[in-house]
Structure 1
Amino acid sequence: MKKYDICIIGAGLIGSSIARELAKYNKKIVVLESNLKVGMETTTGNSGLVHGGFDPTPGKLNAKLNVLGKKRYEDWIKEMEFPYLRIDSLIVGFDDLDLQHINMLYQRGLTNGLDPKEMKILNKEQVLKKEPNISQEVKAALLCNSSIAVDPVALTETLMKNAIKNGVELKLNSKVISIKKDKNIYQIKTANNDLIKSTIVINVAGHYADVISKMAGHDEFDLVTKRGEYRILEKTEFGIVNSVVFMVPTIHGKGVIVAPTLDGHVLVGPTSEDFVPKNETRLITKEKYDLIGDIGKKIIPSINMNKTCMSISGSRPIEPKTDDFWIKPSKKDEFFINVAGMKSPGLSSAPAIADLVIHLVKNKMKLEINNKWDPNEKNPLIYKN
C-alpha cells in the first residue's frame, strides 16, 4: 500500500494535463489509468482542434475556459514539442437561417472575449477565393484565425511524459474497482489488487466519472454520451480544403467539418448520436458512415468520399442538467474533486481546466513549488519549420 498526496483517476488528455501542471508542486502524485496506454478513450476519437472560443454559450464555464485555455496553449507550445498547426476555422452558411447563426456566433465570440481581429464575416466571393472547392451554394462564412490543430494522443503522451519526468507516478492497467475513506485518507483499490492511499482524489474518468464518483459515495451527477463518427480520406485528397471548414452548428454540435489532418489526410465528421451505451462509444455504424459522405459532399461537392481509408468514432461525456463542464469538489467531501462532463471544448480548455483544478486543490492543501520543476519536453521526432 502506497501513500500519495493526490491520486488522479484517468489519463486521457484532461487527466494528463492536470498531472503535468500539478507536477510543478512538491507533492506525491499518482495517476491511475484502466487502459494499457494513455489517451485511449475520448482523446483518441477527438478531431484535435483548439477552438477559437466563439461557439460556447456566454456565461458558461466552458466558454470561459475555452478562451483561457486557448491562450494557455501558447505556454505549452513554448515549453513542449508536440505536433500542432495554426489553422483557420471557417463556418459556412448556405441559407438565410445559417447567416443569422453566423452573425450570432460572431457576436458570441466578442462576448466570450475574443479579439475582433480574430474573426471576420466573409461574403460568398471571399469564401470561394479562400476555399475554391466549397459548394457554390455558400452564402457567407465566419472566419476565425486563432484556431490550432493538434494531435490529441501525441499531446497527451507528451503531457504525461513531462509529468513523469517531474515526479508523477503513472499506473497503467489499473482500473479502479472500489474507493473508501478511512480517517481522512482515501483507499483506492484497483483490479490488479493495488491499494492506493491518497489525501485528495481527482476524478477525471471520462464517461465513467459518474460511476467513479458514486463508487466513492458521491451521487451528484450523471453523464450521458454523444457519439460522433468520422471518416478519414486518403492522402490523395489532401489540399481539397486549406482551413477547418464547418457547417453551421446544428444537432451535430459544433457542426460537421471537412479538415486537413496533421499527417496529410482529410477528416470528415463527426455525426452526433445521443445516449449510446458507454461501452459502445467507439463503434462505427453503416448508417452514420453514409451520412458523413452525404454531408461531406454538401460542403465540398467534388470531394471523393470513396477515398475513405479509415473510420473512427469517439464520444463526448455530457452532463445533461447544466450542459457544461462539471468541475467542483463533492458537496460531501471537498477532498474529492470531480472533473466531468468534458464535452467540446474540452481539448481547447485543457490547460485552463488544469489551472482551475490546481486552484481547488490549493483550497485544501498547501502547494509549494518544486524547485526542480522542468517544464520543457523535447521531441526530436517533431518537425519544426
Structure 2
Amino acid sequence: MITWALGAVLLLSACTTEPTAPPAPPPPGTPALQVQTVAAGLEHPWDVGFLPDGSMLVTERAGRLQLVRDGVTTAVRADLSDVHARGEAGLMGLLVHPDFAGSRQFSTCQAHAQDGRAVDVRVSTWQLSADGASATRVGDPLLSGIPLNPSGRHSGCRLALGPAGELLVATGDTARAGVAQDLGSLGGKTLRADLATGAALPGAPLPEHPYVWTYGHRNLQGVAVRPGSGQVYTAEHGPDVDDEVNLLRAGANYGWDPSQGGTETSYDESVPMTDTARFPDAVAALWSSGDPTEAVSGATFLTGAQWGPLEGGLVVAALKGQQALVLRLDPAGQVSDVVQLPELDGTHGRLRAVQQGPDGALYVTTDNGSGDELLRVTPTGG
C-alpha cells in the first residue's frame, strides 16, 4: 500500500528563492543536439508515452490517439466520442502504466461531455490491444469531478507517476475566481490517487480533502519527478507575467487567488501569481519568467552522461516562447541557472510536451496546428 509517510519524507523542502536570471546559452562542454522528426502530420499533440516494444502513444487534443511505430503513425481505434474538444481542452495528458508489459494499460486525461454538455475533466484507464490497433476503457472514470470550463480555458490536465508509484494529476483553475483556493474543488491543484483504483490515498496532508496535495495554482501544464530524489516539480502559466516552475510541498498553498479572499467574483488577473501578502505561508516560485511569459508547458528530467553539463536538468517546453529551457538544479532542488537549447529556439514553433524516452533521447511535440510533429532530440553522437 502506498503511504503518505514516504512522500512526506521526500518532499519536506519548500522553495523560497527569488526568480532566477533570464535564460543563457548552454555552458561550455554542452554537446550539440541533433533534432529528427519521428512523426509528422499530427494535430495539437498533447502528450507522449513509451511502450516496451519501442513504439509510442500520442494524444491529440481534438480527441484522437495515435500509435507511432517504426516511423509509421496509425490511429488507434478508441471510443473518444465523449471528448469535449474546445479551446484549451480536449484529450490531454497520458501516462503509460509501469506494469504495461503485462496489463497493457495506460491512462489519459480528457475534458468530458455528455449529451453535448461539458461536464468535467476526468482520468480514464485504457487497455491497448495486443496489435496496438485499438484501445478499450477498463477504468472509466478512474478519477472524475475535476472542473471544466465549457470554453476550455485553463482546463488542462497533465499526468505523472509519483515518487511512490501513485498517480499525480495537475489541473487548471478553469479561469474562475475562487477555484484555486477552494479546497472543495479539484481545479487549480495537484492531486494524488491510487493508480489502480483512483481512490484517495491514506495520509493526505489535508485530510478533509483527501485528493488535494497542493493548491493555489493558476494553470498547471507540466509535472515531473526528479529521479532519485522524490522531488516533484510543476510548470504553470502566469497571466501577462510570471510563469512559474514550482517545487511541490505536501499540503502547501502556491498563492494564486483572483477572488482576492472571496471578495471578487470576477477573474481578477492583476493579483500576484504567489500572493504572499494575503497568504504569508504561500510557497514562492522556484523560477519565474518575469515579463514576458513563455507559456511553459510539459516538463521532464534529463538523465545520462551523454547530456554533459545538462545532465540532471529539468527541461520545460514553452508554447509562446517557442523554445525549450533547461533549469539546472543543485542537490537541494534550487535553480543554479537556466539554459536555452539553441537547436529548439524558435526552430519548430510552439512546443507542448517534453518526455525523456527509455532510449535516453528527449522527445518533444510541437503545437502549431495540423502540421505538428513528434521530434527526437539527441546529443551529437548519442
Question: Shorter-chain TM-score: what band?
Answer: under 0.3
In terms of fraction of residues, the more strand-rich structure is 2
TM-score, structure 2 normalization:
0.23
Larger Rg: 1
Higher relative contact order (CA 8 A, sep 6+): 1
TM-score, structure 1 normalization:
0.23
